[in-house]
Amino acid sequence: MTEPQWLDDGESEAWLSFLVMHAKLTAELHRRLRAQAGLSLADFDVLAQLTEAPDGTVRARQLGRSLQWEKSRLSHHLDRMQRRGLIRREDCAEDSRGAMVVVTELGRETIERAAPPHVQAVRELVFDRLTRREVDTMRRISEKILDGLDEEVR
């Protein structure tokens, strides 16, 4: 019944530059991480979770929740990382359906080498260019949109 409300000029410019910025920024971070350590951003996130945990071990289910990944995505990704020797799977003592994911020595070395330049790149490309106020606003915008999504999806 009601006409859809369109975006005004300021809004559509903001939207377009937001989308392009995210695409180019993650592409560049991805490119550097791959060149420097042979990791994808997804690999990095998995290894970060594992190396922060005691014994470098996390239950697969838990990993999926922290990363907010679908279980099939996680399963496929772990296959590939296992093939490359970055992680391995072990049986779960408490639940025989479960799988424990363990970071290997190679995985640990790889992320320890990768992390400092990666963080440095985020700093250079993002935070060094923004004021304190802008960073605060960035977080506030993100949280507002996330709140809205939670309401909608509920």
Footprint of its own copies (CB under 8 A): 4-7, 10-11, 13-15, 17-18, 20-25, 28, 68, 116-117, 119-120, 122-127, 129-130, 132, 134-149, 152-153
Q: How far is the CB of 148 from its own copies (least distance, A)?
A: 5
Q: Is 56 left (phi over 0), alpha (psi -120 to 50) or beta?
A: left
The answer to whether 50 and 107 have CB atoms below 8 angstroms apart is: yes
Q: How far is the CB of 142 from its own copies (least distance, A)?
A: 4
106 binds, among DNA, its own copies, none (CB under 5 to 8 A by kind): none
Q: How far is the CB of 10 from DNA (least distance, A)?
A: 27
Single out the residue of 22, 71, 139, 140 in contact with DNA (rule: CB under 7 A): 71
42 binds, among its own copies, DNA, none (CB under 5 to 8 A by kind): DNA
Tokens standing for 52? 């922060």
Rounded CA-CA distance 129/126 in Å is: 6
Contacts of residue 101, defined as CB under 8 A and 6 or more positions apart, other chains included, come to 46, 50, 57, 58, 59, 60, 63, 78, 87, 88, 89
The number of beta carbons lying within 10 Å of the beta carbon of residue 62 is: 14
Stretch that binds DNA, among 1-9, 58-66, 111-119, 140-148 (CB under 7 A): 58-66
Rounded CA-CA distance 139/145 in Å is: 10
Residue numbers of the site for DNA (CB under 7 A)? Answer: 27, 31, 40-43, 59-61, 64, 69-80, 89, 92, 95-99
